[in-house]
């Protein structure tokens, strides 16, 4: 067992940290408030190879694993730039394409994802189905040599920044007559695909959308993979990378908040010559949050290591636990940071309250804490399903 990163991973961590710090949280907030995207940061991260660290080298990537991508997610978040689209485009879409796309799809999409010139977002959530993906109502029907898609999706992140949406739909299996899931690469400018932006209480340059698919016609090669059989494994292939990288983003955000708060409490004096951080009522909550964040980081490291070793089932348990732990730790860290900063905690200038919405959402999305507890109860503790 080792807790050390490889020299290459250490270098990656230092380099991404330096990049994140050059932009910082004020850049992130300014972009969000102006309704703009973090285009410069994304482009630079792409140019430096950070967006493609987990993409195979033959498609322009760095040939690393989810451990490397988690480092990128954590360090940018630790610099105050938690970019959700890292979870969607390089983690979910690139993994699904690398593992289950056709050779033609890999060649067409992966180089652009690797250098950051292309983004592919992911649409599974629907208004009616919610957490229960077995109830998905978006349907793909064969139409000549292509497909016709109809349905509704909600909370889909980054559609306005992406060239394609990876849409999860149901198709009819001609051999059994049963509906089975399939993934489709739908261009965001496809006829019949419309969107409306959701107003979210999150300070973020990345937006969520309602998506309407009304007779969206896509060619046969929009179906991800060689056949309909690729659908379910492709869907599951995206889950572990999603959980591990979103957990890393949470851990990075927690670190960022604790660092801001510690700097403040170490120097702020209101009673005589003592810093407020010398009062245990102030320092213990911060120390407690730091312990929770560090525990989550350990679980993220374990999940990444298992995933990169091809141990998908064990990575599933560890990844879910990491996501749960990091989601809770990030929310605790940001809330504690706001509290110990007092009034300054609620100002934009000190840059912690701006993260309240994002960390709160991190306990709901991309998978809620309750659904993770259901997973652990069933798969680790052997309990029956209640639903």
Ligand X SMILES: Cc1cc2nc3c(=O)[nH]c(=O)nc-3n(C[C@H](O)[C@H](O)[C@H](O)COP(=O)(O)OP(=O)(O)OC[C@H]3O[C@@H](n4cnc5c(N)ncnc54)[C@H](O)[C@@H]3O)c2cc1C
Please give the residue ranges that form the binding site for ligand X (CB under 6 A).
88, 121-125, 130-131, 155-157, 202, 208, 361, 364-368, 370-371, 374, 387
- CB closer to ligand X out of 154 and 228: 154
How far is it, in rounded angstroms, from Cα 117 to Cα 120?
10
- CB closer to ligand X out of 227 and 386: 386
Minimum distance, C-beta of residue 5 to ligand X, in the bound complex (Å): 29
> For 133-207, where are the E strands, in sequence order?
139-143, 146-157, 164-172, 179-187, 193-197
Minimum distance, C-beta of residue 371 to ligand X, in the bound complex (Å): 5
- CB closer to ligand X out of 62 and 252: 252
Minimum distance, C-beta of residue 238 to ligand X, in the bound complex (Å): 10
SS3 call for 60:
coil
How far is it, in rounded angstroms, from Cα 8 to Cα 4?
11
**Partners of 146 in the beta sheet?**
143
- CB closer to ligand X out of 125 and 283: 125
How far is it, in rounded angstroms, from Cα 18 to Cα 21?
5
Minimum distance, C-beta of residue 171 to ligand X, in the bound complex (Å): 18
**Partners of 218 in the beta sheet?**
147
- CB closer to ligand X out of 188 and 265: 188
Task: Dig out the tokens for 208 from the structure.
Answer: 């969520």
How far is it, in rounded angstroms, from Cα 119 to Cα 46?
11
- CB closer to ligand X out of 5 and 365: 365
Minimum distance, C-beta of residue 384 to ligand X, in the bound complex (Å): 12
Task: Dig out the tokens for 8 from the structure.
Answer: 């290459």
Q: Do 68 and 53 meet the contact criterion of CB atoms below 8 Å apart? A: yes
Minimum distance, C-beta of residue 58 to ligand X, in the bound complex (Å): 28
Minimum distance, C-beta of residue 107 to ligand X, in the bound complex (Å): 25
- CB closer to ligand X out of 156 and 329: 156
How far is it, in rounded angstroms, from Cα 170 to Cα 186?
15
Tally of CB atoms within 10 A around 27: 18
CA dihedral for 106, 108, 114, 118, sign (positive or negative): negative
How far is it, in rounded angstroms, from Cα 104 to Cα 85?
24
Tally of CB atoms within 10 A around 283: 18
Minimum distance, C-beta of residue 361 to ligand X, in the bound complex (Å): 4
- CB closer to ligand X out of 92 and 300: 92
How far is it, in rounded angstroms, from Cα 359 to Cα 333?
9
Burial of residue 46, with CB atoms counted within 10 A of its CB: 0-12 exposed, 13-18 middle, 19 or more buried: buried
Residue nearest to ligand X (CB): 130
């Amino acid at each position: 067992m080792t807790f050390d990163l490889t020299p290459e991973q250490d270098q990656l961590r230092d380099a991404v940290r330096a990049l994140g710090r050059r932009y910082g949280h004020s850049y992130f907030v300014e972009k969000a408030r102006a309704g703009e995207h973090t285009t410069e940061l994304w482009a630079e991260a792409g140019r430096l190879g950070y967006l493609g660290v987990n993409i195979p080298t033959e498609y322009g990537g760095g040939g690393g694993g989810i451990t490397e991508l988690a480092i990128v997610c954590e360090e940018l978040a630790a610099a105050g730039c938690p970019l959700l689209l890292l979870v969607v485009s390089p983690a979910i879409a690139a993994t699904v394409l690398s593992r289950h796309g056709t050779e033609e799809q890999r060649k067409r999409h992966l180089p652009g994802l690797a250098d950051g010139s292309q983004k592919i977002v992911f649409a599974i959530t629907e208004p009616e189905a919610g957490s229960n993906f077995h109830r998905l109502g978006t349907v793909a029907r064969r139409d000549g040599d292509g497909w016709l898609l109809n349905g509704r999706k909600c909370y889909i992140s980054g559609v306005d920044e992406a060239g394609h949406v990876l849409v999860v739909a149901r198709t009819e299996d001609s051999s059994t007559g049963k509906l089975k899931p399939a993934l489709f690469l739908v261009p965001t400018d496809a006829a019949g695909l419309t969107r409306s932006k959701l107003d979210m209480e999150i300070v973020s340059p990345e937006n969520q959308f309602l998506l309407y698919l009304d007779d969206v016609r896509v060619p046969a090669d929009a179906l991800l993979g060689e056949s309909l059989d690729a659908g379910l494994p492709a869907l599951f292939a995206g889950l572990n990378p999603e959980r591990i990288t979103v957990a890393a983003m949470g851990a990075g955000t927690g670190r960022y908040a604790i660092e801001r708060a510690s700097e403040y409490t170490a120097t702020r004096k209101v009673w005589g010559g003592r810093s407020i951080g010398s009062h245990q009522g102030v320092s213990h909550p911060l120390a407690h949050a730091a312990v929770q964040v560090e525990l989550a980081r350990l679980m993220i490291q374990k999940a990444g290591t298992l995933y990169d070793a091809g141990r998908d089932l064990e990575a599933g348990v560890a990844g879910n636990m990491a996501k749960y732990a990091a989601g809770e730790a990030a929310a605790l860290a940001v809330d504690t940071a706001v509290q110990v900063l007092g009034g300054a905690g609620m100002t934009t200038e000190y840059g912690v309250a701006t993260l309240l919405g994002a960390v709160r959402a991190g306990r709901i999305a991309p998978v809620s804490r309750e659904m993770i507890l259901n997973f652990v109860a069933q798969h680790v503790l052997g309990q029956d399903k209640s639903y």
